[in-house]
Amino acid sequence: MTHPLVATEYDTPFGDLAVLMSPADAVVRAAGFHPAADMALRVAPAFGARGWEFGESPQIDAVIEAWLGGDGDALRTVAVEQDGGPFFQEVWETMRAIPSGETLSYQELAEAAGRPRAMRAAGTACARNNIAPFIPCHRVVKSDGTLGGYGYGGLETKAAMLALEKRGRVPAADAAAAHSVAKAPL
């Protein structure tokens, strides 16, 4: 029997973060700063057909708490999977290797993924990433160091996430306020 995906929304300093995971293997299938219903539309068809429901995700709770508490590398400990060709998969894996508090340019990302002339394709892989912040596309910037785009809340969100990771922690009041929010699907 296949189970529906489990969706959990987290109240973060950057907005509500929706995470959808398959409960049998605890793999995150979609995540981002949009409502869970919107993120469910981005799940690979094989998993989207299962449907989804709000539920508990204790392992994700702990990772989000650690991230907001200053351990940006905790995001790497979560298993993730999304549809995409071999180059996109390589780019996404390369993004996961960017240490918390650091950035790569789109050019550097393309080089690290094995295709140094494919910086636009690397940018497209960032734009098609449906598992933010676990695949940390917010850590990719333009060659001149400016932020570039961020489809999960805009440049203010991207800048705030980078600032958190450079500082190593969210102020105590903000970290204490981050919690799982149970909501029913519409």
125-171: pLDDT as tens digits: 999 999 999 999 999 999 999 998 898 889 999 999 999 999 875 44
Q: Which two tokens stand for residue 156?
A: 């203010």
Is 151 or 173 the better-scoring residue by pLDDT?
Answer: 151
pLDDT for res 121: 95
Same-domain pairing of 71 and 95:
no
Same-domain pairing of 72 and 129:
no
Is 174 or 145 the better-scoring residue by pLDDT?
Answer: 145
Tell me, yes or no, whether 186 lies in a domain: no
Tell me, yes or no, whether 185 lies in a domain: no
Question: Mean pLDDT throughout 2-7?
Answer: 93
Tell me, yes or no, whether 46 lies in a domain: yes
**In the chain, how many domains are there?**
2
CB 44 within 8 A of CB 82: yes
Same-domain pairing of 70 and 107:
no
What digits encode the pLDDT tens for the residues 10-64?
Answer: 999 999 999 999 999 999 999 999 999 999 999 999 898 999 999 999 999 999 9
Same-domain pairing of 155 and 125:
yes
Same-domain pairing of 108 and 157:
yes
pLDDT for res 176: 38
pLDDT for res 4: 95
Same-domain pairing of 61 and 98:
no
Tell me, yes or no, whether 184 lies in a domain: no
Residue with tokens 């392992």: 59
State pTM to two decimals: 0.87
Tell me, yes or no, whether 120 lies in a domain: yes
CB 120 within 8 A of CB 87: no
Same-domain pairing of 110 and 127:
yes
Q: Which two tokens stand for residue 22?
A: 């398959």
pLDDT for res 2: 82
pLDDT band at residue 1 under the 50/70/90 scheme? low
**Residue 171, phi then psi, degrees to nearest 5:** -50, 145
Same-domain pairing of 69 and 108:
no
Same-domain pairing of 50 and 12:
yes
Give 100's DSSP letter: T
**Residue 98, phi then psi, degrees to nearest 5:** -70, 120
Q: Where in the sequence numbering do the catalytic residues fall?
A: 137
Tell me, yes or no, whether 52 lies in a domain: yes
pLDDT for res 60: 95
CATH number at residue 92: 1.10.10.10
**Domain housing 130:** 86-167
Tell me, yes or no, whether 48 lies in a domain: yes
What digits encode the pLDDT tens for the residues 51-93?
Answer: 999 999 999 999 999 999 999 999 999 999 999 999 999 999 9
Same-domain pairing of 103 and 120:
yes
Q: Which two tokens stand for residue 123?
A: 């940018």
pLDDT band at residue 181 under the 50/70/90 scheme? very low
Same-domain pairing of 62 and 93:
no
**Residue 16, phi then psi, degrees to nearest 5:** -70, 130
Q: Is the per-residue pLDDT at 185 higher than 60?
A: no
